[in-house]
Amino acid sequence: MKKQEYFVLVLAHSLHGRLRRIHVPHQAVYAVMALALIGSFSVFGFVASYARMAWKVANYNALRREADNLRVRYQNLQKTVSQTNDQLASLQLYAREVSVAYGIKQKLEGPPDISAEGKLVPTFAESVEDYNFLRSVNSLSLQSRKQQQVVSQPSLWPVNGRLMGPFGERDDPFNGEGEFHTGVDISAPAGTPVRATADGVVSFSEWRGGYGRLVIVDHGGGIQTYYAHLSRFLAYVGQGVRRGEAVGMVGSTGRVTAPHLHYEVRIAGAPVNPYRYLSKAGVYQQASTPDFPF
């Protein structure tokens, strides 16, 4: 009869010195090794499956964020196109009125013959009527230009809050040294909408050093307004904004000690005191604390 093959496992007691032999069949050893190998493959497969699933979820989240960004950009582009169409319609209407007022269309087309022109010299009543009409058209044009200048001048408080940090020389709240403050600080809760103080076009909407999140609106004629320390952007570069339209939200990004809005008015790149514009836009509340956030 064939002898059974087995492994001998020897156990020794450290105190009594006793030896104990355990006979382990080689089939059992092979079975344990096979189970260990199968278990290793199972664990590896589970880890690989989990990693693949995590990778797919990360890709899905990235694609969803990209789709959301594209959707927002598409909506902004639609808004810009709508504004452009409105401006084009206004220009076409204005051109039609001017052409009718000055007789450009009639001069370009011309009458079919000289007899169709009628009298070569207008009567006194016709001359007076034409003069009054042209004067009314000119008056409307001047009013339109004046109105455009008004809405392009900063004439609105960007947020409803207390005037905290003044324009000009002051002590730096971080190091106590003297510095020149190029704008004013208006205290407001974080998340408060910040509104453009005049019509214009957004020329900057990014992070800039101590300003944190910064939006710059160009109003034409060399006038720009700065809105700093924002917690969120609501306008993008190239977007046309109307007076009172939200361009961001109050926050505490950049070099600050508390949530507030840093507001600047610049003419030809040089900062001027914004209070000369704010004073005409309504009544403000003077802060009762001497601590000025940057």
Q: What does pTM read for this prediction? A: 0.48
Q: Which of 74, 99, 124 is where one domain is finished?
A: 99
Beta strands in 153-253 (DSSP E): 162-165, 168-171, 178-181, 184-187, 193-195, 200-208, 212-220, 223-233, 240-241, 246-250
1-12 core/surface letters (b: 16 or more CB in 10 A; e: else)? eeeeeeeeeeee
Q: At residue 41, does pLDDT exceed 80? A: yes
Residue 191 lies in a domain: yes
184 within domain boundaries: yes
172 and 73 housed in the same domain? no
Please say if the pLDDT value at position 106 is more than 60: no
**Closest Cα to residue 222, out of 185, 263, 271?**
271
Instruction: Output the average pLDDT for the chain.
Output: 79
Q: Tell me the C-alpha distance between 87 and 212, whole Å.
A: 34
Q: Are residues 2 and 85 in the same domain?
A: yes
Residue 221 lies in a domain: yes
Question: Taking a C-beta distance cutoff of 8 angstroms, is the pair 228, 212 a contact?
Answer: yes
The pLDDT value recorded for residue 248 is: 96
Question: What's the total number of domains in the chain?
Answer: 2
- Tell me, what's the pLDDT at 293? 41
Q: What is the CATH number of the domain that holds 261?
A: 2.70.70.10
Higher pLDDT, 253 or 84: 253
Report pLDDT for 290. Answer: 37
| Residue in 258, 263, 268, 265 with CA at minimum distance from that of residue 248 | 263
What's the pLDDT at 281? 65
Is residue 56 situated within a structural domain?
Answer: yes
Tens-place pLDDT, residues 220-275: 889 999 999 999 999 999 999 999 999 999 999 998 888 999 999 999 999 999 98
147 within domain boundaries: no
Backbone angles phi, psi at 235, to 5 degrees: -145, 150
Please check whether residue 11 is in contact with residue 20, taking contact to mean a CB–CB distance below 8 angstroms.
yes
Packing angle of the helix pair 26-102, 124-151 (nearest 10 deg) = 150
Same-domain status, 168 and 57 = no
| Structural domain harbouring 57 | 1-99
Q: Express each pLDDT in 153-211 by its tens digit.
A: 898 899 998 888 788 777 666 666 667 888 999 999 999 999 999 999 999 999 999 99
- Angstrom CA distances, 180 to 36, 77, 213, 216, stand at 73, 39, 21, 20
